[in-house]
Structure 1
Amino acid sequence: MLDWTPFLLSFKLALISTGILFCICLPLSYAIARTSFKLKPVVEAIISLPLVLPPSVLGFYMLIMLSPYSFLGAFVEEYFGIRLVFNFTGLVIASCIYSLPFMFQPLLAGFKTMPSSLVEASYSLGKSRFKTMLFVALPNIKPSLLTASIVSFAHTLGEFGVVLMIGGSVGGETKVASIAIYNAVELLDYHLAHIYSAIMLAISFTVLFLVYFINHKISKNIV
């Protein structure tokens, strides 16, 4: 019988990570797009680093950072009773770091292409930076919002390397869909691996189709 738990766990991880990333990247990308400072290229490079860094390298350093022998790992375990490696909490932290640029970059591009006159007009009317971002900027970057959210969700859904190093393969806790496929191949159960892979392929195609379809509809309405 097909076990749907890895897929449910993957969706849970993707939803939580996408929500956290949206809350972090929205003000961050807006601030970086609307301000200029000397270290701006450095900040953008650090945020975008997971795009080019091998997952094994990123996973290794996060494993060191979140382990109970590190300051952060020991602090969280001592005061909150949570071990950040080989559990779901650690997966969320790792996924947020790994998928950060997939949320940040589309939002930054959207804010950069938005006419400055809209922001200046809002400020001249006495609106705060927060209200300007929320009620003026966001409605004008709908395609970027959609792309950032769905691509971040899809990227988290298909994570493997970082997830494997931080969470391992604990059933019902860290064994997401990509890990389930890996385990099936290890056991030479290619039939199960085919089923899991086909489901992930269908999900990935559907997500990307929705991005292009909805963005096309939004573009037509704007024109």
Structure 2
Amino acid sequence: MMNFSPADLTAIWLTLKLASIVTMLLLIFCTPIAWWLARTHSILKAPINALITMPLVLPPTVLGFYLLIFLSPNSTLGKILSDLGVASLPFSFAGLVVASMLYSLPFVMQPLQNTFVSLNDKHLDAAATLGASPMDRFFSVVIPLSKPGFISAAVLGFAHTVGEFGVVLMIGGNIPGETKVISVQIYDHVEALEYPQAHTLSLIMMAFAFLVLCLLYFAQRNTHEQHKKGIW
């Protein structure tokens, strides 16, 4: 039987809370940008895509370090936020949300963009001939047809946020109940030579990763079946 300490349970709850908030915000933020990137021929498309994809190739500590610098109370942005009444972001849960959004951005943006690119324009054209406005076409045609992409984006964004470590440690530190997520809790157990506790939490992470991959493969299989049936 798995025995969790109060600190373990707090870390698990904080991790799920962080991943849920980050995933929801990223889906809202990424959807219009992914749609624009999928449809535009602007010369800005390449540099914007490069900026979005940078977290995939940058070491997490690099991203965390610059976020720590840019969001510090002494920075220009930090002073502007302070003047607006926003509390200091480094070493806070809000700071973790901002950092996690940037770090998980490509894992949400790319599935959405790929899904929008693969959509058949005939459905949009048919809706246009019926008098549907661009906004109506997006919500009544694009969103329903893009359901597998939204599922993949949500699952990947959630899972990536759950598993992050370097960015979390750089921008959030190790504050119990505030920024100590499950990955940091595992690190603390290992540092204290508490291997059974680290083993238990690590097994949970491995089981979670397996379930996430299974869900993604099922979503991809359903997408392929829809293509074969001509739904797209």
TM-score range, shorter chain: over 0.9
Cα distance between partner residues in 2 of 1:195 and 1:78: 44
Compute the displacement of 1:212 (Å).
Answer: 1.7
CA RMSD of aligned residues (A): 1.6
| CA-CA distance at 1:219 after TM superposition | 4.2
Identify which of 45, 48, 51 aligns with 2:53: 48
Change (3 A) 1:105 1:81: closer
The alignment status of 1:87 with 2:92, answered yes or no, reads: yes
Matches within 5 A, 1:193-212: 193-212=198-217
Task: Give the alignment partner of residue 167 of structure 1, picking from 169, 172, 180.
Answer: 172
Count of residue pairs the alignment pairs up: 223
Q: Which runs of 5+ in 1 are unaligned?
A: none
- Residue number among 189, 195, 198 corresponding to 2:194 in the alignment: 189
1:29 matched to 2:34: yes
Deviation for aligned residue 1:200: 1.1
Cα deviation, 1:181-221, whole Å, max 9, x if unaligned, reads 11111111111111111111111211221222244345446
Letter in 1 for 2:27: F
Worse-superposed segment, 95-104 or 208-217: 208-217
Specify which of 114, 118, 123 is matched with residue 123 of structure 2. Answer: 118
Runs of at least 5 residues in structure 2 that lack an aligned partner in the other structure: none
Corresponding position of 2:64: 59
Matched, 1:39 2:39: no
Contact 1:7 / 1:176 at 8 angstroms: preserved in 2? yes
Whether 2:82 is the aligned partner of 1:77: answer yes
Amino acid at match of 2:54: L
Partner of 1:11: 16
Q: 8 Å contact 2:152–2:219 — kept in the other structure?
A: no
What stretches of structure 1 move > 3 A for 4+ residues in a row? 123-126, 217-223
Percent identity (aligned) = 46
The aligned amino acid for 2:150 is L
* 8 Å Cα contact 1:30/1:133 also seen in 2: no
Q: Deviation digits for residues 76-109 of structure 1, max 9, x if unmatched? A: 2343251100010000000001101100000000
1:13-47 Cα deviation digits (max 9, x unpaired): 00000000000111111111112111211111111
**Mean alpha-carbon deviation: is it higher for 72-81 or for 158-167?**
72-81
Instruction: Report what 1:129 is aligned to.
Output: 134
Following the alignment from structure 1 to structure 2, what is the Cα–Cα distance between the partners of residues 119 and 44?
Answer: 25
Is residue 78–residue 88 contact of structure 2 (8 Å, CA) maintained in 1? yes
Q: 1:102 touches 1:152 (CA, 8 Å); kept in 2?
A: yes
Q: 1:70 is aligned with what amino acid? A: S
Tell me by how many angstroms 1:66 deviates.
1.0
Cα separation, 1, equivalents of 2:82 and 2:225: 52
TM-score norm. by structure 2 comes to: 0.90
State the TM-score, normalized to the length of structure 1: 0.94
